[in-house]
Structure 1
């Protein structure tokens, strides 16, 4: 009998990749994906521990599931991902409605865990760090979730131990997948229609795999992917400034497919705060990377992440962050008020006054928004290369992205999906560009 699984994914792109691989895996025990949660025999939450109140959001979601299935047969409820890893047995004790807790390095065991629950009706918990077995197992199951723009995890875990971050505790130490394993998966998703691959890792540019007598870095992967004719664009995220090595920077000189947007989280513009965060880089080192890349290609743009109101941040520290934003003019960034994560060094530090933090966040977000709006406004009237990804929900317009990941919405034929087309930009807002296919535009004004 065919069973149905509904997966709700929180957080990062890696979780999205993991959710897709879980779907590929559970097909082997008779489950198929459903987008209608009310039909689910198994309800899985793939959780993220980066944002504030992540744990409570999970329990809130479980409460919602309870209401949905109040008058229906209860599905198997699985909590997966980083919150599952961090809380493990505690979740099973606190919420009896949860049946299975499974961490992100145990997904190769998900079939036996679900089947074990079905057979014995005994709650299951799998949260061991077993990354090698996980990827060896998943490499034998075809990735059937290729899109025009597809994610591909190449590295997991982190050895940096930034004082605010839970990743080393929820994803484990840095692990780089075997080079050939990654290339083989890339071949499959390109064969299935991917025109863009986004390489993923908690520290993606820390990728370092020793195979035989050779050491493979991210730069080697990028060069290898460059050879695939059907692949048009390559990206990678998320990077750490400490791992922005010269061999990686030099790739921007020779690659025709590596996109000119560098997402490089800085977190703060103050060296004092960076040291307190244990970030292992300085602003001077960050600016040196920026300068090197700009000298290679002046069209390269940067995006970043900022934590505002980190313990001991004062007005001078915040001023340095504002100065850095003015200097680099990030075209797209994420900024959040610091919130402590249990188990991290920063969890026990005294918080900056909440009103001050909120005011600083509003100031910085206003500045970042202005940069973004100004950049998008400057593109009006220009013709851009856009990779068309899909049809919008309205069923009329098409959605694509520029080389800088900016969303572009326009009228077009579904035949354009998967192609790079030229779009004349006619208007913009903070987050998106709007335009028309260049050929259509010429016909209209003729």
Structure 2
């Protein structure tokens, strides 16, 4: 049988999709292997959110082709979509698959490389693409009710994609050009997959989408809205925790807040993408809110859930960001006390409105601002973790810790915890008594003797 290897760059949506793609290859007779091993086909699910993501996507394609010259390198995802749109070659790639066809990557591979068909379990096909079902909008397809499903079903923390597409057109972002079809997955499909996730051992489910807050009947949900999804998934037996992924600040109605505050299995954590703490820059970014609106939403969330963890993204060095405007972002970040922050250096993206603006912040200055803002955000992270010292918290164990004999995982409100394992295993939810905050902002504690289900 032919072999295929897969790797992913970028967001949780991409993570979900690459697992679905790998499952489809496996269903058609391919043996799935590690990306570092020899394989007949290498599939790269690319990202283009930053210039660094572009660079990594190119590097992965070149390296796979260089290390495995007889293999087929296939690139899909947002970087591949932009390359197709601009008719740009990607060194090392034998095939580019557009985002709209991503979920049928195996069909495109068999069509482009028919010699693989005779070695797979797929029947002989004159036109493999023609005999595959039409792609559902944004790849939002149903799971086989018999139990066949994505590789994600075997994870303790599973990602559940319910929506695709973005129409915000923020001036710095290329996603509306690479994922421009707004689509919501039918509610019954979402719930069916959630049940399968639970049956396969998932303890936490992360509900995600490109603009997950836009989920609703207007784009195909069948009548349900996001609050309905959160509550229904949280009610599935076997699922201990439901976490909502990144949401636009303007997409948080009261019904979402009330659902999160009232259901014990919905994690008190929300990732709100701020991008800048200065209103002038937010306007230049074409973000649909200002800092006053953002603060109002954050205050409302904290009023209903005092221990909620609010995480965010911030960009430094956007065109026109003077030192004064950057200081506004520093001050706002201190004020907001985020539990965790991803800080990015601005880089121009193809086809975006900001690409036409003068990139007038010197790279060295971007680096300085990145360091300064990161330092502020780490202090906020440490302060948030310190609020939990003396408490005993539930932690989903996910990985080895920073030292031998330690494990690590996250609380419901997204405090990363390092703790002495004392017999605990990955995939368990354990109770940990927190006693300290580590320099990187993680909390440290000791596991209680008896784990809880």
2:424 maps to 1:419: no
Q: Is the 8 A contact 2:186 2:220 kept in 1?
A: no
The answer to whether residue 339 in structure 2 is matched with residue 331 in structure 1 is yes
Contact 2:418 2:442 in 1 (8 A): yes
Partner of 1:372: 381
For 1:302 and 1:248, the matched residues in 2 are separated by: 15
Give, in angstroms, the shift of residue 370 of structure 1: 1.2
1:363 aligns with 2:372: yes
Shift of 1:144: 3.6
The structural deviation recorded for 1:396 is 4.7
Q: Which moved more, 1:187-196 or 1:395-404?
A: 395-404
For residues 95-124 of structure 1, give each alpha carbon's deviation from its aligned partner in whole angstroms, at most 9, with x where no partner exists. Answer: 3x42211123312322221111221799x9
After superposition, the Cα gap between the structure-2 partners of 1:257 and 1:115, relative to the gap in structure 1 and judged at 3 Å, is same
Match of 1:80 in 2: 76
| Contact in 2 for aligned 1:102/1:125 (Cα 8 Å) | no
* More displaced stretch, 34-43 vs 78-87: 34-43
Matched, 1:102 2:97: yes
Change (3 A) 1:94 1:403: closer
Query: Which residue matches 1:112?
Result: 107
Cα gap change, 1:214 to 1:33, in 2 (>3 Å): closer
- Conservation of the 8 A alpha-carbon contact between 1:4 and 1:32: yes
Q: Report the Cα offset of residue 190 of structure 1.
A: 0.8
- Give the alignment's Cα RMSD to 1 decimal: 2.9
Alignment of 1:261-300 (within 5 A): 261-300=269-308
Unaligned runs of 5+ in 1: 442-446
Paired residue for 1:40? 39
- Asked if 1 retains the 8 angstrom alpha-carbon contact of 2:183 and 2:220, the reply is no
- Partner residue, 2:225: 217
> What does residue range 388-407 of structure 1 map to in structure 2 within 5 Å?
388-390=397-399, 396-407=405-416
> What does residue range 8-407 of structure 1 map to in structure 2 within 5 Å?
8-35=7-34, 37-70=36-69, 74-88=70-84, 93=89, 95=91, 97-119=92-114, 131-132=136-137, 134-136=139-141, 142-146=149-153, 147-209=155-217, 215-354=223-362, 355-390=364-399, 396-407=405-416
Unpaired segments of 5 or more residues in structure 2? 117-125
Helix, strand or coil at the partner of 2:313:
strand
- After TM superposition, the score normalised by the length of structure 1 is 0.88
In 2, Cα distance between the equivalents of 1:63 and 1:202? Answer: 28
CA distance in 2, matches of 1:389, 1:22: 24
Deviations 1:49-88 (A, max 9, x none): 0021433433333332233225xxx111101111111112
Contact 2:216 2:225 in 1 (8 A): yes
Looking at structure 1, the residues matched to 160 and 220 of structure 2 have their Cα atoms a distance apart, in angstroms, of 23
